[in-house]
Structure formats: structure tokens, C-alpha cells
Amino acid sequence: MAREWSIASAVNELTAAFEAAGLDTPRLDARILVGHAVQLEPSLLFAHGERILTDPEYTLVRDFAARRGQREPVSRITGHRGFWDLDFALTPDTLDPRPDTETVVSAVLARRLMFISPRVLDLGTGTGCILLAVLQGWPAASGVGVDLNPGAVAAAAANAERLGFARRAAFRQGNWCDGLDERFDVIVSNPPYISDAEMATLAPEVGRFDPHLALAGGADGLAAYRAVIPAAWSQLNQMGRVFLEIGAGQAPAVTQLLRAAGFSGIGEYKDLAGIVRCLEAVKA
């Protein structure tokens, strides 16, 4: 029989342990993990603070605390990440979606009036978060997500089914645009863009738990763009648009690659931190 531990005391003890471990958001992490263990939304924990955990709940909380103490992200522990008001299931094969990536979705949806029933291609789809968020905000759109990792393709397809987009979104395994025989109006991509030198400096939550394939961008972080940009040019309809997530400080180099491929009308979109996070370009 586990010791008696109330919901409130569990949250407090996990918060103290996470503070001692130097985690950035100790109380938030504690509330999410305890809530996940007892199957309550974090906002409801206060109202149930005196409830004593069952033995299985106690075991879960201790397990979650140990995993978070080893720097496993909360989203990996719960298996879910909220993105653009949608809930995405994560697997070891998928990148954990970041709020910065919502900049890409916002940029695409700002162009909704330019296309009637657009076809959207998502290169390196991962969980499918960019494509499915675009489809949520653009009911007339449909699209295809491509990923080199078959596990990511399966995860994206499962997310599409669970979220109600299975009829508008298809997913396939492939190396960027290889084997595609369709042209698209919009192409989106969050390719790997971490340079070799930066890979060694990533936080443990990223470097140890996100798939290497979704992070590593080669010696200068631009290897994927050198493949994606010409492929996007070939796969876009005339006047089609490409939207690329980029890393901090990469805008000049990626802009040069876009112009060299023939793209014009290049626009920049900043994330909430004021960093240029997305580039848009037109095949004109």
C-alpha cells in the first residue's frame, strides 16, 4: 500500500523537486503530470486537492516525476502536445511541435483569399501538425504530408483520423518530393535546420528526445533547404507559394537559396520573440 498522498501534496512535492532540479516551469510541469496521472485537467486539481491518490495513481506520479527529473519533456510523458488549438499525439518518431511553428500556419492562412480550393503539400510532416492546422483554418483546402520516417507517417495519419481530417489529408513516406506526380498551390515545411555545432548544445529535452533526423541540418544547418527549395519549385503550380520555417539568423542565407531557385516576392514572418521564423516565396 502506497503512503497516503493527496493531489495537492503531490503537486507541491513535484514542484519542489523540479525547482531543485532547475527546471524552467516546475509548478506547471507538476500540475500537468499529476493531472495526467489522476485523469483531471490541471485547472480542476485545486477543487480536488484533498483527494487521496490511489495506489496506481501514486505509482504513475512517482514514475512521471522520475522521468521529468531526467529531463524528458512533459509532452513526451503525456504523449500529447497542443498546437493551434488541436491536440496531437506524439511518438518517438515525431518532432515535438513548438509554438514557434504556429508562425508558419499563421502565414499560410493569411493567404486564404488567393486560392479557391488549394492543394497543400507538407514536407517533413512529422505529427502532421502544420498541414492539419492549415486544413482546420482553411476548410476548402486539402493536402498531402510527406515524411522520410515511416513511423512519422503512421503517427500523422493517426492524428488526421482522430482529429477528423482523414478525408482531406493523405500521408506518404518519401524523400521530400520524390515520386510525387501532383502539383500544389501551397508547400509548407519545417525542415531540420540545426547545425552540427549547435546539435551538441541543445537542451536535453530536445537533443535526447526529439528524433535526430528531424533536427540535424548538416554542417551549416542549411542542407535540407538546399534539397527542399528546388523540389518545391518543381512541385508548385505557377503563382504557388512556399512557406519555410527557419532557425534564428538563417533568413539571409535561405532567402539567397530561394532567389537562386527562381522564387520572388519573399516575405518574412516573426515569431512571438520577434525572430524571423518563417519565409514565404512565390513561384512567379
Q: List the domain boundaries for the chain.
A: 7-70, 84-282
For residues 121 and 146, the answer to whether their CB atoms sit within 8 Å is yes
For residues 68 and 17, the answer to whether their CB atoms sit within 8 Å is no
Pairing of the two strands 184-189 and 236-245: parallel
CA gap 12, 45 in Å, rounded: 12
Taking residues 250-266, report their average pLDDT.
96
Does the pLDDT at position 254 exceed 80?
yes
Planar angle of CA 69, 43, 37, nearest 5 degrees: 45
Taking residues 264-282, report their average pLDDT.
94
Of 177 and 109, the structure prediction assigns the larger pLDDT to 109
Does the pLDDT at position 1 exceed 60?
no
* Res. 190 pLDDT band, cuts 50 70 90: very high
State the average pLDDT for the chain.
92
Taking residues 245-260, report their average pLDDT.
95
Does the pLDDT at position 43 exceed 90?
no
CA gap 165, 167 in Å, rounded: 6
- Taking phi over 0 as left and psi of -120 to 50 as alpha, with beta for the rest, 39 belongs to left
Q: 3-class DSSP state for residue 278?
A: strand
Would you state the pLDDT for residue 3? 63
Would you state the pLDDT for residue 229? 96
Of 46 and 120, the structure prediction assigns the larger pLDDT to 120
On whether the 84-282 domain is CATH 1.10.760.10, my answer is no
pTM for this structure?
0.88
**String of DSSP letters for 5-27:** -BHHHHHHHHHHHHHHTT-SSHH
Pairing of the two strands 264-270 and 276-282: antiparallel
Q: Which helix (H) or strand (E) holds 106?
A: helix 102-109
CA gap 142, 227 in Å, rounded: 24
Would you state the pLDDT for residue 284? 87
Taking residues 212-235, report their average pLDDT.
92
Taking residues 54-61, report their average pLDDT.
90
For residues 169 and 194, the answer to whether their CB atoms sit within 8 Å is no
Q: 3-class DSSP state for residue 60?
A: helix
Diameter over CA atoms, the chain: 69
* Res. 207 pLDDT band, cuts 50 70 90: confident
Q: 3-class DSSP state for residue 173?
A: strand
Taking residues 180-208, report their average pLDDT.
91
Q: Which residues are CB-neighbours of 178 under 8 A, at least 6 positions away?
A: none
- For residue 99, the 8-state DSSP code is G
Would you state the pLDDT for residue 180? 87
Would you state the pLDDT for residue 104? 96
